[in-house]
Amino acid sequence: MRLTIGIILVVLLMTSCVNSYVGITYGRQQSQQLVPSMVVDMLLQNKISAVRFMTSASDIIQIFAATNISTTIRLTNRMTNNINKKHLAVAWLNEKIKVPANKGVKIVGLAVGAEPFSNTFLNDIPKFDAVASISLMREVLDEMDFRHVITTTAHGVDVFNVSKVPSETGFRDDVKGVMLKLLEFYNKTGAPFVVNMFPLHIVRDVLNCPIEFTFFDNMSNLTITDGNATYTNAVELIYDSVVSAITNAGYSTMKIVIGEIGWPTDGYPYANIKNAERFYKGLLKFIASEKGTPLRPGSIDIYLHSLSDENKFGRMYGAFQRHWGIYEADGNPKYKIDFTLQDRDEYPYKAKGIVSMPRRWCMFNGDTSNLELVRKNFNFACGITDCTPLEEGGSCGGLSEESKFSYAFNGCYQRQRQVKQACDFDGLGIITTENPSQDKCEFAVEVLALEDHLTANTEILLKV
């Protein structure tokens, strides 16, 4: 009872004179998942009032009851293909939306798949009939009297033929027909157009502009003029490219929501903590100003991507996909960021109640007499843990070869909960209590994850 009252009191204090809202995405492809109650506490303490789950989150969503945090759940692309009949949709929506909503979870949106027409990073994800799937879910939700739950899907910027001049932006020829049908559906149902942005990639690989153009405090001389509009940063230019495309399609007043926007801290050129902090500082100051863009003045709603790193995310989409987190997987913030839009120069609240495993690391013992065996074990370890920081340009890419072996061995050892046998590696591993971290390369000690807490029947008490 005291916990519930405490949470409600915190939510009542979440007032702001800014009309824009800042939400966050929450994916759970991690080897060490935080206890859900800890995540709720992090969101409340940071005054984050909206979250977009990357899945249906059916195993944890009920913990959000009585928090007043607006939640959007996702029907994954693969599941979208499976749920293609009305009776299947009824069963899924009853379990994933009706049940938790009736228990007090504030579900405001259903994302039906994600980026169904991507031709870049997510081009290998399962495709689905977006119009049919979204229409089916809308029909069933209406019949279940959940008309307030918005149905839409997020689109990557790659559905547009983005140019340096927003007025010349339109939809790709191969998806123009279906995009016009979706715009008609969004307009009819009152749904926003949701766009996912990766400004660093667009500036570097699409627009071929200096990286400075990604930042709001752009220190280069580059500005882009389009008629009466002048752009000094990529976010405003990309946003107005979307505005231009949907306006030319006949929907000049359709609301636009940025469903994902962020800056990875590893696995991509210029992806590091310093740049991420700088980008977010400028972005959130811009959102707080509510000046909007040249083509769409006013408030903008965004979801930052994402809450924490996901070291089990598929590598085929790029190493950086594992490093979007504002937080490390253990609940510690990577850099300063102010979710309250007050431009405070401080770190956000970190997760409370975190219990780390003992400060032990698994290291390569230095025996290089059989390098074939060493590399075999290295590859084995990297098949279990995340070795993307070891790649060229990564935070650990500058390690010596032997240190890279140790990094992989330790990651595998931590992933397997520091079981002694997990540091054997054909006799090449040795356990140490001396921290082997170097410079910006951290040899992690993982936290007790969700399943560990459940097994130990640990009671987590939140002090909100």
Domain count, the chain: 2
Same domain as 378, residue 289: no
pLDDT on residue 457: 39
Residue type, 376: K
Work out the percent of the chain whose per-residue pLDDT is above 90.
79
Q: Is residue 350 assigned to a domain? A: no
Q: What is the pLDDT averaged over residues 270-279?
A: 97
pLDDT on residue 11: 40
Looking up residue 191, the CATH number of its domain turns out to be 3.20.20.80
423: enclosing H helix or E strand:
none
Q: What is the pLDDT averaged over residues 383-404?
A: 92
pLDDT on residue 353: 79
pLDDT on residue 310: 93
Separation in Å, CA 400 to CA 254, 267, 295, 396, 407: 53, 18, 51, 9, 10
The first and second tokens of residue 29, run together, are 């492809």
Same domain as 365, residue 309: no
Of the two residues 320 and 34, the one the predictor is more confident about is: 320
Average pLDDT value for the chain = 90
State yes or no: pLDDT of 227 exceeds 50.
Answer: yes
pLDDT digits (tens, 9 = 90+) for 228-265: 999 999 999 999 999 999 999 999 999 999 999 999 99
Same domain as 200, residue 150: yes
State yes or no: pLDDT of 206 exceeds 90.
Answer: yes
pLDDT digits (tens, 9 = 90+) for 343-368: 999 999 988 878 889 999 999 999 99
State yes or no: pLDDT of 88 exceeds 50.
Answer: yes
Residue 370: how many other CB atoms lie within 10 Å: 11
The first and second tokens of residue 215, run together, are 């930042």
State yes or no: pLDDT of 455 exceeds 60.
Answer: no
Q: Is residue 395 assigned to a domain? A: yes
pLDDT on residue 317: 80
Q: Is residue 459 assigned to a domain? A: no
| CA–CA distance, 300 with 419 (Å, rounded to integer) | 48
Same domain as 298, residue 434: no
pLDDT on residue 101: 97
State yes or no: pLDDT of 280 exceeds 90.
Answer: yes
pLDDT on residue 318: 87
User: Which residue has 């084995």 as its token pair?
Assistant: 380
| CA–CA distance, 416 with 380 (Å, rounded to integer) | 13
Work out the percent of the chain whose per-residue pLDDT is above 70.
93
Q: What is the pLDDT averaged over residues 130-151?
A: 97
Q: Is residue 107 assigned to a domain? A: yes
Q: Is residue 346 assigned to a domain? A: no
Of the two residues 31 and 178, the one the predictor is more confident about is: 178
State yes or no: pLDDT of 312 exceeds 60.
Answer: yes
Q: 274, 305, 322 — which closes off a domain?
A: 322
Q: Is residue 461 assigned to a domain? A: no
Q: For 194, phi and psi rounded to 5 degrees?
A: -105, 125
| CA–CA distance, 134 with 112 (Å, rounded to integer) | 6
pLDDT on residue 289: 96
Residue 353: how many other CB atoms lie within 10 Å: 18
The first and second tokens of residue 17, run together, are 């004179």
Same domain as 130, residue 10: yes
Lowest mean pLDDT among 28-42, 182-196, 362-376, 432-446: 28-42
Same domain as 182, residue 129: yes
Same domain as 369, residue 289: no
Same domain as 165, residue 59: yes
State yes or no: pLDDT of 10 exceeds 60.
Answer: no
Same domain as 294, residue 374: no
If pLDDT is split at 50, 70 and 90, which confidence band does 449 have?
Answer: low
Lowest mean pLDDT among 258-267, 383-392, 403-412: 383-392
Same domain as 16, residue 122: yes
State yes or no: pLDDT of 224 exceeds 60.
Answer: yes
Q: What is the pLDDT averaged over residues 320-324?
A: 94
Q: For 114, phi and psi rounded to 5 degrees?
A: -155, 135
State yes or no: pLDDT of 83 exceeds 70.
Answer: yes
pLDDT digits (tens, 9 = 90+) for 157-170: 999 998 899 999 99
pLDDT on residue 355: 83
State yes or no: pLDDT of 24 exceeds 60.
Answer: yes
Write down the H helix ranges in 116-202: 130-143, 176-189, 199-201
Cα 219 → chain centroid: 28
Q: What is the pLDDT averaged over residues 217-221?
A: 95
Q: Is residue 396 assigned to a domain? A: yes
DSSP letters along 187-242, please?
HHHTPPEEEEE-HHHIIIIIS---GGGGSTT--SS--EEETTEEESSHHHHHHHHH
If pLDDT is split at 50, 70 and 90, which confidence band does 463 have?
Answer: very low
Residue 81: how many other CB atoms lie within 10 Å: 14
Same domain as 300, residue 167: yes
State yes or no: pLDDT of 9 exceeds 50.
Answer: no
If pLDDT is split at 50, 70 and 90, which confidence band does 18 have?
Answer: low
| CA–CA distance, 194 with 191 (Å, rounded to integer) | 9
Q: Is residue 353 assigned to a domain? A: no
pLDDT on residue 456: 41
Same domain as 290, residue 168: yes
Domain membership of residue 318 as a residue range: 2-322
State yes or no: pLDDT of 89 exceeds 90.
Answer: yes
pLDDT on residue 464: 27
pLDDT on residue 135: 97
Task: Please give the DSSP secondary-structure letter assigned to residue 339.
Answer: T
